[in-house]
């Protein structure tokens, strides 16, 4: 699974925009938290700048399916990290086109 994470991070660096299945906004969208979907793992973070994501925490995919409210708890961990580091003004909102805009 570590190789899948490494490959996903390489793809993020090298491609214009991540594949739609790899990166999703978490609900509620107003929290500005994103969830990455490399095979077997779920990573949670936020966009700090256009084309830049900050990964804060993660979980095994199978845990997200068996442990009640785990996704919500991970989202709350990211929110707590943002607040503890006073990064509220650094978190970008919007959909994937706002975070990874097409080249002009």
pLDDT for residue 69? 95
Write down the CATH number for the domain with range 2-93: 3.30.2310
Residue 2 has pLDDT above 70, yes or no: yes
pLDDT for residue 97? 85
Reported as a single tens digit per residue, the pLDDT across 30-80 is: 899 999 999 999 999 999 988 888 999 999 999 999 999 999 999 999 999
φ/ψ region of 32 (left if φ > 0, alpha if ψ in -120 to 50, else beta) reads left
pLDDT for residue 58? 96
- The fraction of the chain above a pLDDT of 90, given in percent, is 53
Reported as a single tens digit per residue, the pLDDT across 64-78 is: 999 999 999 999 999
Which residue, 33, 30, 32, 34, is CA-closest to 18? Answer: 34
């Amino acid at each position: 699974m570590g190789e899948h994470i490494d490959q996903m991070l390489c793809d993020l660096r090298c491609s214009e925009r991540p594949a739609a299945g790899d990166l999703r906004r978490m609900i509620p969208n107003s929290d500005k938290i994103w969830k990455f979907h490399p095979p077997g793992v779920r990573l949670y973070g936020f966009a700090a700048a256009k084309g830049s994501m900050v990964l804060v925490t993660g979980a095994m995919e199978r845990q997200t399916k068996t442990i009640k409210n785990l996704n919500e708890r991970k989202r709350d961990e990211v929110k707590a990290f943002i607040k503890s580091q006073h990064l509220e003004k650094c978190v970008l909102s919007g959909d994937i086109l706002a975070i990874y805009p097409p080249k002009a």
